[in-house]
């Protein structure tokens, strides 16, 4: 027998049972046992299928919300990084900001700015002054690095996993533990050689080809316009 106070509460608030999925499942199972094995309860089967569909919808709903929050967090990260990047008034400070504040905001372990030049050895003192963020390469290096030696149209943003042997000198002494990278091709305008912004991460899953690139493409667009100011 049901305790009188429990019975009174259920009679007063029957929706308590309807809102508890475990209790409802137990009641349905008890009803099926009471009907016997020779009776097929089509209503129960339909309810079970609806429950399974509801579970899938709830999982999808949670996944969509999680993706939306992740995208919002990524957007906020990129916006903060852009504001930090626009602060410096000198090129040396600009490069320093890239390797410190911008790298921390984007949660990457290494930032490199690759510029192509036909005179890679003319100003070693200047390059040392600018720090290890700037990497000067010969013309054609960026296209080869983006394509990985394969012949296909270059994309503006490339995300991939890498091994130390695949990063010729870009990361310097950090090359041994960089496992994924984001490569953004930079257009500095007519008559100028291209550039490339490189974000390296120790986490091999931080940058993968299946990830979206819209935010990084936007960041690269702001970056290359900022660089045109320094190159003018």
3-class SS letters over 63-125 = HHHHHHHHHHHHHHHHHHHHHHHHCCCCHHHHHHHHHHHHHHHHCCCEEEEEEECCCCCCCHH
**Burial class of residue 159 in the structure, from the number of CB atoms within 10 Å of its CB (0-12 exposed, 13-18 middle, 19+ buried):** buried
Considering the four listed CATH numbers 1.10.1040.50, 3.30.420.10, 3.30.450.40, 3.90.870.20, the one that applies to the domain covering 89-231 is 3.30.450.40
Phi-psi region of 162 (alpha: psi -120 to 50; beta: other; left: phi over 0): beta
pLDDT value, residue 36: 64
Asked whether the beta carbons of 95 and 131 are under 8 A apart, the reply is yes
Q: What is the pLDDT of residue 190?
A: 81
Q: Looking up tokens 């533990």, which residue turns up?
A: 177
* Residues 127 and 118 sit within 8 Å (Cβ to Cβ): no
Q: State residue 109's pLDDT score.
A: 92
* Per-residue pLDDT, 174: 84
Which pLDDT value is given to residue 183? Answer: 94
Check residue 18 and give its pLDDT: 72
- CA 224/CA 194 separation, integer angstroms: 10
pTM for the whole thing? 0.68
Which one, of 123, 130, 142, 128, lies nearest residue 220 by Cα? Answer: 142
Is-contact 179 201, C-beta < 8 A?
yes
Q: In 3-state terms, what secondary structure has residue 198?
A: strand
DSSP H helical segments within the chain, as ranges? 4-12, 15-19, 21-35, 42-86, 91-97, 103-106, 124-130, 141-147, 214-231
pLDDT at residue 124, rounded to an integer: 47
C-alpha distances out from residue 75 to 93, 142, 158, 176, 210, Å: 24, 27, 18, 30, 18
Cβ(186)–Cβ(224) below 8 Å: yes
Domains in the chain: boundaries:
89-231
CA 198 to chain centre: 15
Q: What is the residue-level pLDDT of the chain in tens, covering all 232 positions?
A: 677 777 777 778 877 777 777 777 777 777 767 766 666 566 666 777 777 887 788 888 787 777 677 777 778 889 999 999 888 888 888 888 888 999 999 999 999 999 887 665 544 444 544 567 888 888 888 888 888 767 777 788 999 998 876 667 888 888 888 999 999 999 888 888 889 999 999 999 999 888 888 899 999 999 988 888 877 6
């Amino acid at each position: 027998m049901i305790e009188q106070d429990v019975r009174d509460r259920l009679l007063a608030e029957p929706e308590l049972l309807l809102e508890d999925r475990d209790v409802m499942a137990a009641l349905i199972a008890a009803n099926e046992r009471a009907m016997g094995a020779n009776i097929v309860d089509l209503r129960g089967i339909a309810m079970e299928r609806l429950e399974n569909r509801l579970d899938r919808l709830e999982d999808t709903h949670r996944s969509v919300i999680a993706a939306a929050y992740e995208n919002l967090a990524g957007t906020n990260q990129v916006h903060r990084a852009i504001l930090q990047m626009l602060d410096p008034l000198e090129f040396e400070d600009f490069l320093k900001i890239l390797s410190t504040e911008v790298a921390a905001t984007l949660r990457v372990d290494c930032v490199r700015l690759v510029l192509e030049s036909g005179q890679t050895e003319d100003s070693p003192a200047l390059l040392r002054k600018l720090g290890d963020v700037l990497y000067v390469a010969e013309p054609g290096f960026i296209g080869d690095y983006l394509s990985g030696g394969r012949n296909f149209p270059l994309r503006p943003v490339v995300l991939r996993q890498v091994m130390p042997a695949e990063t010729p000198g870009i990361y310097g002494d950090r090359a041994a533990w960089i496992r994924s990278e984001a490569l953004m091709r930079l257009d500095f305008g007519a008559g100028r050689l291209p550039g490339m912004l490189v974000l390296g991460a120790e986490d091999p899953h931080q940058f993968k080809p299946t990830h979206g690139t819209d935010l990084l493409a936007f960041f690269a667009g702001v970056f290359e316009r900022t660089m045109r100011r320094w190159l003018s």
